[in-house]
């Protein structure tokens, strides 16, 4: 089997403006939630539309570009990798979240 890769490619629309934070070590992180629509036929042959939400995270130069050009509701194609983040809260409860670490993106809706 050839080399396997953790890869996610999606087309969707950000549900809000991206949020950017800068850390003391000059690293930049930009996050946004991406809505991806899908449809399928149910058992009754009726079309069912669904929306899946994904958290997308970009770092450093990619984060700067996202903050400048990605806008709420504008269609975007993304390429990234799944990341599973886990932590334990102060009460000892374990939490896990899944996010997409953005590698590259392309705007599909352009401003006039």
Architecture of domain 8-107: Beta Barrel (2.40)
Handedness of CA 41, 100, 86, 94 (dihedral sign): negative
- Kindly give, in sequence order, each residue whose CB lies less than 8 Å from that of residue 38, ignoring residues fewer than 6 positions away: 49, 50, 51, 52
Would the pLDDT of 111 be above 70? Answer: no
Label residue 5 by pLDDT band (50, 70, 90). Answer: confident
pLDDT score, position 105: 97
Q: CA–CA separation, 73 vs 50, rounded Å?
A: 17
Q: What is the pLDDT of residues 60-101, one digit of tens each?
A: 999 999 999 999 999 999 999 999 999 999 999 999 999 999
Q: What is the pTM of this model?
A: 0.85
From start to end of the chain, where are the E strands? 8-14, 19-22, 28-41, 47-59, 76-88, 94-107
Kindly list the domain boundaries of the chain, sorted by start residue: 8-107
Token pair of 56 as six digits: 């997308």
């Amino acid at each position: 089997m050839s080399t396997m890769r953790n890869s996610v490619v999606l087309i969707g629309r950000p549900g809000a403006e991206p949020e950017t934070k800068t850390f003391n070590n000059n690293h930049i992180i930009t996050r946004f939630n991406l809505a991806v629509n899908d449809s399928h036929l149910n058992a009754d042959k009726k079309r069912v539309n669904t929306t899946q939400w994904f958290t997308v995270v970009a770092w450093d130069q990619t984060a700067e570009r996202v903050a400048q050009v990605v806008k709420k509701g504008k269609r975007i194609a993304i390429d990234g990798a799944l990341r599973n983040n886990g932590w334990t809260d102060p009460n000892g409860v374990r939490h896990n979240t899944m996010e997409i670490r953005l590698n590259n993106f392309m705007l599909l809706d352009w401003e006039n």
